[in-house]
A and B are shown apart, each in its own frame.
Chain A
Amino acid sequence: MSGSSTQNSRRRLITGGLAAVAGATGLGVAARLAKKYGLVPPDGGGIYGPGETLNYMTQRVLARHSKAREFSKNQISKPPFANEIAKPSDEFKRLQAGGFADWRLTIDGLVERPGTFSVAQLRSYPSRGHITELACEEGWSYIAEWNGVPLSHVLDVVGVKPQAKFVVYISMEPNTWDSIDIDEAQHPQTLIAYGMNDKDLPVAHGGPLRMRVPRQLGYKNVKFINHLTVTDDIKKFGKGQGSVASEFGYKWFAGI
């Protein structure tokens, strides 16, 4: 009996050791592969880096081409909940008084044909609408119909260079910007939204232009966007964490 128990403990010692070595090697290999295939988020460092990297990696593997759930017209929330927005600046009020006719969306960075686009120009492109849920990280949610031009279409118009990895979107609200990876930017449901529930996008919901990323939480859906930059190096922006949200402790990847 004691013989089998010492044999057992020796076997356990050996398998335990082998498992530890295999585990450490596996982690090392996984980390290198993750870096190579762009599975590490911009804020994948620090104490919460491992969890964040696992979140992002898992969605890239499982949900790269998945579509957000779409709902029927009778499921639209009435009225949709409008979250707080900053006090509009004088410049914003001027543009609003003019019906946003002078609102411009500038697109630059790694594109063949950088340019500026008016809301009317964006409206002239093929539009796409979807009835999807906007869910806030706080817990609340609502369903609305969003209309806009697919971001992928606009990226085709300006001609994205092949080395592009992220699209950075910047709001007219001071110090408000975020970014998504190029797959999320090319996703058919990702819109530059200008309409909501058959009307122009209300200012309370980010009108005239709002980024609509239905597979991620509310805070990725930045309001009042007037500038897009395509880049291969997200570290150049802000504090290098991929979004301004990190300055409030929030993570770049908001698919969870």
Chain B
Amino acid sequence: MSEAKSTAMPASSAIAGSISSAICNPRPRHSLLVRITHWLSAMCFLALLVTGAEIVISHPRFYWGETGNVNTPVLFKIPVPSSRNLVPTGYGYTLPDQNGWSRALHFQAAWLVVLTGLFYVLSGIFSGYFRRELLPQKGERSLGALLATLKSHLKFARPGVADAHSYNLLQKLSYLFVLFVAFPLVIWSGLAMSPMWDAAFPATVNLLGGRQSARTIHFFVSVFLLVFLLVHVLMVWFAGFWSRTIAMITGRIR
């Protein structure tokens, strides 16, 4: 049907028309914008994770409040060796210092993911994407619906064919939480560790309870995001790793 119509159109739309008819499904499962921002974010997240862990080992001790150092009591320690020999870790050796490039890459990846995220969120709001794809629909806004989706997840029920074209309720809620709670908090707590930023906006660090609290919050939100990533990949695996992954690369569901 679309082929028949496309013959009456100018050349450029005819090409676009024939492409869409070849796909059979005019709207891709994931728009080009979603696919690009997804993989950019994934790349940045991995860079942030590796460099973040690298920076942590130069001082694997966490505190609450404004200040904290090896002379003050800890909130908790991570039982790993350190890249600094003044940190008492119980290990008899010191790891090499890799903080220089780790910090540079951490900030560069942060800039890229924040700008990507900003672009994604603004276009998601204005295109109606969030309303259409992520906001729970009328039938989903009930405790019953939530319990049903939880039950099917706990039973590890394999998703049906129709599920490949939309997100389920638990998926929507976790994506919304990551997008609008975890990401803002990890950005905020990260910025609160910048002394120059704190000079310009002292409330950002004071509201979190001080510099060391900000660092501890940054750590915990990062751990949460890592858990999200692992569960996300596990769920993708469960739903069919290649079909879902190819859908996020080409936009098509095979």
Q: Give chain A's interface residues, CB within 8 Å of chain B.
A: 1-3, 5-7, 9-10, 13, 48, 50-52, 54-55, 59, 62-63, 66-69, 71, 75, 77, 79-81, 83-84, 133, 135-143, 214-217, 245, 248-251, 255-256
Contact = CB atoms under 8 A, between A and B. Distances in A.
Interface in B95-112: 97-101, 103-105, 107-111
B69 interface: yes
B188 to A, nearest CB: 14
Interface residues of B, number: 56
A67 B197 CA distance: 10
A214 B211 CA distance: 14
Contacts of B17: 2, 6
A233 B200 CA distance: 28
Contact of B103 (A71, A137, A215): A137
Interface string B191-214: 001111111111001100001100
Which of A2, A7, A10, A140 has the largest number of chain B CB atoms within 10 A? A140
Interface stretch (B53-61, B135-143, B224-232): B53-61
A51 B104 contact: yes
Interface string B58-86: 11010000111111100000000000111
Contact of B69 (A48, A62, A137, A142): A142
B215 interface: yes
Contact of A141 (B85, B111, B200, B211): B211
28 contacts: A3-B9, A9-B16, A10-B12, A48-B101, A51-B104, A51-B107, A51-B109, A55-B111, A62-B201, A63-B200, A68-B195, A68-B198, A75-B66, A77-B71, A79-B71, A84-B85, A133-B67, A133-B211, A137-B99, A139-B215, A140-B70, A142-B71, A143-B66, A249-B99, A249-B100, A255-B194, A255-B197, A256-B196
Contact of A249 (B55, B101, B200): B101
